[in-house]
Amino acid sequence: MLHLVPARRLAALLAAVATVLAGAVAVADASERSGPSAAAAARTSQQTFSPYDEFGDRLLDVSDYRTASSCSDSFISGQDGPLRCFSGNFIYDPCWPDPNDEDEAFCVSSPNATSGVMLRDALSVHDGYDSRPNRSPWALELMDGRMCVFASGASSARKGVRLNYFCDRKRYLWGSPRRTRSLWTIRMSRGYTGKGWRRVKIKTAWR
């Protein structure tokens, strides 16, 4: 036997179905929007830096020209190719050989630099020595946006852990990143002594 549903009840049922469907669409849409970004936030991005593009054109301005007195392989870059050079009392590391000049190298202080120093005679004074003691990242960007660069010169230690990175806004990173998970972490302190250090998350690692 056919049962007729009262008009008011039918309208209420249709409204309930519409609400459920709208909620499902909203959840699916939110999941689609937040899924990739949430996955990206849970993983440290690994980047390879170069001051030159694929055509060999320099991407940054030259702030100064100097002459290298000696060069060896980079101490702090995880790449094959960059150099560590001396010019007077200054150390420049890393420096990338210029693809368009056989004897010049372009030196950059950090991945977010807008300019660098061009060294002349860099390749002619290269001694062929590989000075890299490890493959730690050259620079680290933390989740709060701080950029931290590996300390290539004299440093200090706390509990046998070397002060490896100097960050902007007066922060310091100790040791090497912990890479056991997709989102890397490292010890950070507010002071040069390392007192009260804690682990922080790494957004990007540069080599």
The pLDDT of residue 128 is 66
Say what the pTM is: 0.77
For 79, the token pair is 């790449």
Same domain assignment for residues 115 and 165: no
120, 154, 169 — which closes off a domain? 120
pLDDT at residue 19 greater than cutoff 60: no
pLDDT at residue 27 greater than cutoff 50: no
Which whole number is the average pLDDT over 46-69?
Answer: 97
* Residues near 31 by beta carbon (within 8 Å), at least 6 away in sequence: none
Same domain assignment for residues 99 and 145: no
* Residue ranges of E strands in the chain: 45-47, 61-67, 70-73, 83-87, 90-97, 104-107, 115-120, 139-142, 147-150, 157-158, 161-167, 171-178, 185-189, 198-206
In a domain, residue 168? The reply is yes
Range of the structural domain that residue 89 is part of: 57-120
pLDDT at residue 13 greater than cutoff 50: no
**What's the number of domains the chain is made of?**
2
In a domain, residue 91? The reply is yes
In a domain, residue 8? The reply is no
Phi/psi class of residue 165: alpha, beta or left (left: φ > 0; alpha: ψ in -120 to 50)? beta
What DSSP character marks residue 126? Answer: B
Report helix, strand or coil for 181.
coil
Higher-scoring residue by pLDDT: 50, 132:
50
The pLDDT of residue 90 is 93
Confidence of residue 102 (pLDDT cuts 50, 70, 90): confident
Kindly report the average pLDDT of the chain as a whole number: 84
Tens digits of residue pLDDT in 126-172: 776 665 555 689 999 999 999 999 998 889 999 999 999 999 989 99
Same domain assignment for residues 152 and 102: no
Cα separation, 52 vs 45, whole angstroms = 20
User: Residue 33: in which H helix or E strand, if any?
Assistant: helix 7-41
The pLDDT of residue 169 is 85
Cα separation, 83 vs 176, whole angstroms = 22
DSSP letters of 98-114? PTT-TTEEEE-SSTT-S
The pLDDT of residue 41 is 62
Strand 139-142 to 115-120 pairing: unpaired
Higher-scoring residue by pLDDT: 36, 154:
154
Same domain assignment for residues 73 and 103: yes
Same domain assignment for residues 165 and 116: no
Confidence of residue 16 (pLDDT cuts 50, 70, 90): low
In a domain, residue 150? The reply is yes
The pLDDT of residue 40 is 56
Confidence of residue 6 (pLDDT cuts 50, 70, 90): low
Same domain assignment for residues 65 and 94: yes
